[in-house]
Structure 1
Amino acid sequence: MEAIYHGVMQALGPQQAPAIKAIHIANNDLDSNPSAKFGAIELADGTIGLTYTKLGDALEQLQDPSHYQHFCQQPVTELAKLYLADEPWQRVLGTGALNALSQWLLQQQQYQYPDAADTLELLKIDNGDRVGMVGYFPPLVAALTEQGTPVTVIELKPELAREEGTLKVTMDPSELQHCQKILITGTTVINHTLSSLLPHCQQAAQVALIGPSVGLLPQVLFDLGLTAIGGRVILDGPLFLERWQQGQKWKGAAQRYSLTAQ
């Protein structure tokens, strides 16, 4: 996934990167706290980039602040270099840094995100389409199977593989080649699996990447061949951090958005 890293760095160009003010990682009630699965990179001007922390043993490793506290007050580009490292906790932090830098760059352009479209509308599903999913989205699977739309879910755990009516759960990513519309979780950016999935999506009419951890520069993602993205932008940093720390929903502090390549 070097293309993502280099794409954001190229967009920064000769500008001086902002410094990191704080790195926020949940450290209590990790199993029951809904905030624990997301971390936040806060820049000096208040810009926030999100990341997904429950990747492998990342959250466990990040309970040790010595892994990351020394990055505070440094340019965010220093932390972003961890995106190219091997360990899950490093990629989690590196992704958050790239998201924060992307959000900062977009704010420099006074970019205004449009509100999110319904996910199924984003895919523009037609009769006869098979929908592929990388990442299991229970409400969407339920809605699609209820309306009779065939769904193929790519799963990492062999014990979850099965076929039930119009639903097929498989470990074989090549099954995406039979799907006309594809939905991919943003965690594939963090664990570097997106690049291995996209070759199987070339025949699909719509390929969307979604999730709260999708905060990268849109053009960098569209250049990979994605046709749509859906993510979160933090509008009110202090309110977000207050609600995040309390394990509350982010309503009023964050905006869900969606964009298409067109």
Structure 2
Amino acid sequence: MNSVYQRIIGALQTNAIPKVRAIHIMKEGLDSNPNAKFGAIELDDGTIGLTYTKLGGALKVLQDDSLYQQFLGQPVTELAKLYLEPAPWQQVLGSGALNAISQKLLRERGFEYSKAEDTLALLKLTAGDRVGMVGFFPPLIDSLKEQGIPVTVIELKAELARAEENLLVTTDPQALTYCNKILITGTTVINHTLNTLLPLVKDADEVALIGPSVGLLPEVLFELGVTSVGGRVILDGETFLKRWQGGEKWKSSALRYSLHNSQYQ
């Protein structure tokens, strides 16, 4: 059984399992609304866990809400079980449930989120570094190239592979072994590819996992070998959902945060 799933479910008190109040999936403006790529699992206490919906055609499948209506009013652990299933739409909903559970537990602990550092600051860059990226982050690549820091990007589409000055785009994940600073998109947690990537970067100095869907208990990710996380926490669920539905920026309804393993206890 998946270790991420086991650790998060194991952290719940079995006599206080929250229920699912709502599953928010965008149904209109799927191509025009920038927020359509995110969905939200809302618990009965108002806690919200985010997930990324445009993974393997999941958003199109999730337009059929009969697939998940039965989970409303049920313990969130039932929804979380979908994370273990093979279909992308199931993993999308299951990971959102695990994020919601994690955010509830962190709030109960009184955890204080620190405002996010610049993404590249998480890598603690120095001269001589080579950055490996799983996920294409154009602004970050441009910044690294300006600093003269070479970048290796792992890409799924072979037609995008190329090599130019200080930039290698390749379909071969083994290329990460030549990089000492690593940046990984949070979608790798959803589709279960993070566990296959981390052995390739076990000798890296820094491994940062970033994205709005990175809302899991930090210690679970740190135990796997991630050194820092950058995610989002929803501070005001009602305002967030209005902004999300309207395609607006989330502003003060959410906080972009980052955390290094050296800061976490």
* Fold equivalence (TM over 0.5): yes
Query: Shift in Å at residue 164 of structure 1?
Result: 1.3
- Aligned-residue identity in percent: 65
Amino acid at match of 2:233: V
- Alignment-derived partner of residue 256 in structure 2: 256
- Runs of 4+, deviation exceeding 4 Å: none
Deviations 1:119-173 (A, max 9, x none): 1111001100000000001110000011110000000000110011100000101
Matched, 1:217 2:242: no
Deviations 1:74-128 (A, max 9, x none): 0100000000000000000000000000001111111111111111111001100
Amino acid at match of 2:146: E
Query: Shift in Å at residue 22 of structure 1?
Result: 0.4
What is the alpha-carbon distance in structure 2 between the residues aligned to residue 176 and residue 192 of structure 1? Answer: 18
- Alignment-derived partner of residue 69 in structure 2: 69
Task: State the SS of the aligned residue for 2:79.
Answer: helix
What is the alpha-carbon distance in structure 2 between the residues aligned to residue 193 and residue 258 of structure 1? Answer: 22
Query: Shift in Å at residue 238 of structure 1?
Result: 0.3
What is the alpha-carbon distance in structure 2 between the residues aligned to residue 254 and residue 15 of structure 1? Answer: 29
- Alignment-derived partner of residue 161 in structure 1: 161
Task: State the SS of the aligned residue for 1:12.
Answer: coil
Task: State the SS of the aligned residue for 2:11.
Answer: helix
Matched, 1:127 2:127: yes
What is the alpha-carbon distance in structure 2 between the residues aligned to residue 2 and residue 246 of structure 1? Answer: 35
What is the alpha-carbon distance in structure 2 between the residues aligned to residue 151 and residue 125 of structure 1? Answer: 12
Query: Shift in Å at residue 57 of structure 1?
Result: 1.3
Over the residues paired in the alignment, what is the CA RMSD in angstroms? 0.8
What is the alpha-carbon distance in structure 2 between the residues aligned to residue 227 and residue 174 of structure 1? Answer: 20
- Alignment-derived partner of residue 176 in structure 1: 176
- Alignment-derived partner of residue 2 in structure 2: 2
Q: How many residues align?
A: 262
What is the alpha-carbon distance in structure 2 between the residues aligned to residue 163 and residue 105 of structure 1? Answer: 44
Query: Shift in Å at residue 15 of structure 1?
Result: 3.7
Task: Report 1:22-171 matches (<5 A).
Answer: 22-171=22-171
- Alignment-derived partner of residue 232 in structure 1: 232
What is the alpha-carbon distance in structure 1 between the residues aligned to residue 15 and residue 255 of structure 2? Answer: 27
- Alignment-derived partner of residue 194 in structure 1: 194
Task: State the SS of the aligned residue for 1:96.
Answer: helix
TM-score relative to the length of structure 2: 0.98
Amino acid at match of 2:207: V
Task: Report 1:11-30 matches (<5 A).
Answer: 11-30=11-30
Q: Structure 1: which 5+ runs fail to align?
A: none
Query: Shift in Å at residue 16 of structure 1?
Result: 2.2
More off after superposition, 84-93 vs 105-114: 105-114
Amino acid at match of 2:95: T
What is the alpha-carbon distance in structure 1 between the residues aligned to residue 149 and residue 214 of structure 2? Answer: 26
TM-score relative to the length of structure 1: 0.99
Pair 235,191 (structure 1): closer, same or farther in 2 beyond 3 Å: same
Deviations 1:211-241 (A, max 9, x none): 0000000001101011000000000000000
Deviations 1:23-77 (A, max 9, x none): 0000111111111100000011100000000001100100000011110100100
Q: Structure 2: which 5+ runs fail to align?
A: none
What is the alpha-carbon distance in structure 2 between the residues aligned to residue 134 and residue 214 of structure 1? Answer: 14
Query: Shift in Å at residue 203 of structure 1?
Result: 1.3
What is the alpha-carbon distance in structure 2 between the residues aligned to residue 164 and residue 254 of structure 1? Answer: 38
What is the alpha-carbon distance in structure 1 between the residues aligned to residue 13 and residue 224 of structure 2? Answer: 20
